[in-house]
Amino acid sequence: MPSPRPRTRIQARNSEAILDAALEVFSQYGFRGATLDQIAEVAGLSKPNLLYYFPSKEAIHIALLSGLMDTWLAPLRALHHDGEPVEEILDYMRRKLEMSRLYPRESRLFANEILQGAPRILDQIEGDLKALVDDKAALITTWIAEGRLAPVDPRHLLFSIWATTQHYADFDIQVHRVLGVEGDAPYAEATRFLTQMYRATLTPQPR
């Protein structure tokens, strides 16, 4: 039984190929809709060979998800209490949007998992994620109390940032077809629009 983490060069290469192919397939069809044959074909390996590196379909899925959560929360963790509050949150939004641009498959994998009821990451959502949100919401509340941020609901502010930024990854096709363009152009426009929207929302009004 090979260890889940690669030890030899060839194990590293194949494990990575499998995870990459699995990300491709799972992110599009969800766990139940994806098949091992599909993943094997994308990875350029035979199905039994997949199962030589991972004991089951679910193990591949779990391997993807467990690595994903930390990556996904990193931008929010980087929301620091030093710096100008409005710009801090704008930076967070831009980091999140950049994640959607660079890692759309990861975003879709996450979306698929949530849509299916988050059976494999519910504890992390109720644990790590909730704790992190509580923490950052407290920080935002402090900023508001100091008058450095317009009074907004901190949690729904975060929800809206997640929603707007991930939309460009998850609904990628819709965005491109409605705009009638291809490539990364929507992200540049989105950066401008979202910067404008959140600046208007968050800038405190002296009165």
Partner DNA sequence: TGATGATTTGACCGAATGGTCAGCGGCAGG
Partner DNA sequence: CCTGCCGCTGACCATTCGGTCAAATCATCA
Question: Where on the chain is the footprint of DNA (CB under 7 A)?
Answer: 2, 8-11, 14, 34-38, 45-49, 51-52, 55-58
147 touches which of DNA, a second copy, none (CB within 5 to 8 A by kind)?
none
Q: Which is nearer to DNA, 14 or 191 (CB)?
A: 14
Q: Which is nearer to DNA, 53 or 168 (CB)?
A: 53
Give the position of tokens 């899925």.
Answer: 61
DSSP letter for each residue of 12-48: HHHHHHHHHHHHHHHHHHHHHH--HHHHHHHHTS-HH
51 touches which of a second copy, DNA, none (CB within 5 to 8 A by kind)?
DNA
Q: Give me the least distance between CB of 132 and a second copy, in Å please.
A: 9
Question: Which ranges of the chain does DSSP label H, i.e. alpha helix?
Answer: 9-33, 36-43, 47-53, 57-77, 85-102, 104-115, 122-124, 130-145, 154-170, 172-179, 185-202
Q: Give me the least distance between CB of 5 and DNA, in Å please.
A: 12
Angstrom distance (rounded) from CA 124 to CA 182: 35
Q: Which is nearer to a second copy, 14 or 166 (CB)?
A: 166
On the 0-12 / 13-18 / 19+ scale of CB atoms within 10 A, 194 is: buried
Give residues in contact with a second copy (CB under 8 A).
27-34, 108, 111-112, 114-118, 122, 125-126, 129-130, 133, 150, 152-153, 155-157, 159-160, 162-164, 166-168, 170-171, 173-175, 177-180, 186, 189-190, 192-194, 196-197, 200-201
The answer to whether residues 59 and 9 touch, using CB atoms and an 8 Å cutoff, is: no
